[in-house]
Amino acid sequence: MIVTVSTVKDRLANVQRFVRGNLSGGADHMIVFLDSPDAEVEEWLAGQPDVTVVVGDRTWWQGTRPKLLNRRQQVNSNLAKGVLTTCPWAQWLFHVDADEFVRIDRTALEELPDANRVARLLPLEVVSKPHWDGEPNLFKRLLSEPELELLSALGRLSEPTNSLYFRSHIVGKVGIRPSLDVRMHIHRAADRRDENLQAVTRPGLRLLHLESYSGEEFVRKWTAMLGSGPSVNFGPARMRLATAMQALLARELPEETARRYLMEIYDRHMADPVETLAELGFLEQHSPGDGGQSPRSLSDAQRTQLRAAMEGLRNEDKTLFLPDQTPPRRAAATLARATRG
Q: What is the three-class DSSP state of 339?
A: helix
Model confidence pLDDT, tens digit, residues 303-330: 999 999 999 999 999 988 988 765 567 7
17 with 54, same domain? yes
Indicate whether this model's pTM tops 0.85.
Answer: yes
- Are 161 and 148 contacting, i.e. CB atoms less than 8 angstroms apart? yes
Q: Do 127 and 195 fall within a single domain?
A: yes
Asked whether residue 124 is domain-assigned, the answer is: yes
Supply the pLDDT for residue 242: 84
**Co-location of 234 and 289 in the same domain:** no
Domain span at residue 256 reads 215-269
197 and 257: one domain? no
- Counting as low any pLDDT under 70, the low residues of the chain are 226-235, 325-328, 341
47 inside domain: yes
- DSSP H helices, the chain, are 12-23, 39-46, 58-61, 69-84, 106-110, 145-153, 162-165, 215-226, 236-249, 255-269, 274-279, 300-312, 329-339
| Domain match, 221 and 329 both | no
In a domain, 325, yes or no: yes
* pLDDT in the model for residue 323: 86
- Domain count across the chain: 2
Are 56 and 198 in the same domain? yes
CATH code of the domain covering residue 48 = 3.90.550
Is 261 among the domain residues?
yes
Tell me, yes or no, whether 42 and 187 share the same domain: yes
Of the candidates 4, 28, 12, 326, which has an alpha carbon nearest to the alpha carbon of residue 180? Answer: 326
In a domain, residue 74? The reply is yes
φ and ψ of 115, to 5 deg: -65, -20
How would you class 111 by CB atoms within 10 Å of its CB: exposed for 0-12, middle for 13-18, buried for 19 or more?
A: exposed
Residues 286/316, Cβ–Cβ less than 8 Å: no
The helix/strand/coil state of 301 is helix
* Residues 247 and 289 both lie in one domain: no
- Asked whether residue 81 falls in the same domain as residue 27, the answer is yes
